[in-house]
Amino acid sequence: MRISVVGCGYLGAVHAASLVELGHEVVGVDVDARKIADLRAGRAPFYEPEFAELLTHSVASGRLTFTTDIAAARDCTVHFICVGTPQKHGEYAADLRFVQDAAESLLGVLEPGDVVVGKSTVPVGTAAGLAAMVSEKAPGVRLAWNPEFLREGFAVRDTLHPDRLVYGVPDADGGVVEETLDEVYAPIVARGIPKVVTDYATAEMVKTAANSFLATKISFINAMAELCEATGADVKQLADAIGYDDRIGRKFLNAGLGFGGGCLPKDIRAFMARAGELGADQALTFLREVDNINMRRRIRMVELAREVCDGSLLGKRVAVLGAAFKPDSDDIRDSPALNVAAQLQLQGAVVRVTDPAAIENSRRQWPQLDYADSAEEAAERADAVLVLTEWKQYRALDPVAFGQVVAQKRVLDGRNALSRKAWTEAGWTYRALGRRAS
């Protein structure tokens, strides 16, 4: 099939290259000329494991092209919308401008029989509105909503090996749309991956409900961490013990600094805003608390840093290991690590931040912070070391050797990712959220 992908960010670029892997010819379209130039040259504009190889390979095959000109999508029969839906400034709601622009730009190239497939995370009701616009302005063109569940850091794997496919299809001609999507995902469908074919509203809600559940699970364990701090209990053991119950499960029960990134925070807020518009805001008031618990963890981390620095951050040298919102990503959108680093600096600490992949992005957003190329450089003569993103490089640090670099052996494990035993045995004061001091 010839397929266009409009929007070439984390989602779109990975999706475009993965579609080539599934056997299609793909044109990626984006308004950002710099990004397109990079992609065209086979250069990944962001860090994502396995993506660089997939991109190089797909571009070299001649079956993946990139352009800023939507006209190149003219001979495609399926058109994916993969643009961002960021939070509106000063509001909880999602900004749908890019989705609207993408759909309108496609109107000039659509032919009867084409299918437009939305992948962006949108408030429920968006697809029905777009479907009405498309059927009025491009008769014979159908719309589907096909949410994406990829995680950054595993984007390629999640795209090529999803755990489910969700198709939101129109009431009329739903079968035709389903067949088209089955053709797009043929190798995945052939593996018998669970598939849910439903209406637009359910498909849209599957995505926001899934992200809300994940956020709730993280905030649940972080609320337990607050209680553990008050009682002297240990949140890590608590999570292990409740996680053995397979109705609960251990995944997404890692207590620590909480969730950030370009998805969970803005998605739960957009969901609350949409519920309000629909007159169902009470159903989601708990998400406000989920958000509050999450943000409190960042404040607590700063307090803990002050505590270990003998009650004052003024002039203290603090090393922050990790800037990305999670490991294996250079994404710093709403990064808890950078948020804490900035608060520490504002409160008078001398902060040096390091990250294996996100320094360039961080420097652009927080030029006032000081950056180092390695954990050792960041921690030179430090009064405290904060591990805020659990990159494997930091989990693997040797506390004995690392202890030679710092001024004071104090480590704050913001992700409960280090071995408390190994660090305390090497003479470090070890502190973590939701766990007793040792």
Binding positions for ligand UGA, rule: CB under 6 A: 121, 148-152, 211, 214, 218, 252-254, 256, 258-261, 263-264, 267, 325-326
Minimal distance in Å, beta carbon 152 to ligand UGA? 4
Minimal distance in Å, beta carbon 162 to ligand UGA? 10
Nearer to ligand UGA, 67 or 219 (CB): 219
Is residue 329 classed as helix, strand or coil in its secondary structure?
A: coil
CA dihedral 214, 219, 224, 227 (to 10 degrees): 180
Nearer to ligand UGA, 298 or 317 (CB): 298
Residue type, 157: R
Report the distance separating Cα 376 and Cα 373, nearest Å.
9
Nearer to ligand UGA, 30 or 390 (CB): 390
Active-site annotation holds for 263: yes
Residue type, 7: G
> Which residue, among 108, 410, 92, has the nearest Cα to 268 in the 3D structure?
92
> Which residue, among 201, 171, 214, 197, has the nearest Cα to 278 in the 3D structure?
201
Alpha helices in 333-419 (DSSP H): 336-346, 359-365, 375-378, 392-395, 399-402
Name the catalytic one among 76, 82, 228, 263. Answer: 263
Q: What are phi and psi of 6, to 5 degrees?
A: -100, 120
Minimal distance in Å, beta carbon 255 to ligand UGA? 7
Minimal distance in Å, beta carbon 337 to ligand UGA? 9
Nearer to ligand UGA, 118 or 258 (CB): 258
Q: DSSP letters along 91-159, please?
A: SSSB--HHHHHHHHHHHTT--TT-EEEE-S---TTHHHHHHHHHHHHSTT-EEEE----PPTTSHHHHH
Nearer to ligand UGA, 21 or 148 (CB): 148
Longest dimension (CA), the chain: 72
Contact 95, 122 (CB under 8 A): no
Minimal distance in Å, beta carbon 230 to ligand UGA? 20
Residue type, 16: A
Minimal distance in Å, beta carbon 249 to ligand UGA? 11
Nearer to ligand UGA, 252 or 286 (CB): 252
Q: Angle 10-21/51-60 helices, nearest 10 degrees? A: 50
Nearer to ligand UGA, 67 or 294 (CB): 294
Report the distance separating Cα 379 and Cα 318, nearest Å.
7
Residue type, 177: V
Minimal distance in Å, beta carbon 231 to ligand UGA? 21
Is residue 355 classed as helix, strand or coil in its secondary structure?
A: coil
> Which residue, among 19, 8, 27, has the nearest Cα to 98 in the 3D structure?
8
Report the distance separating Cα 193 and Cα 316, nearest Å.
53
Element (H, E) at 97: helix 97-107
| Residues with a known catalytic role | 263
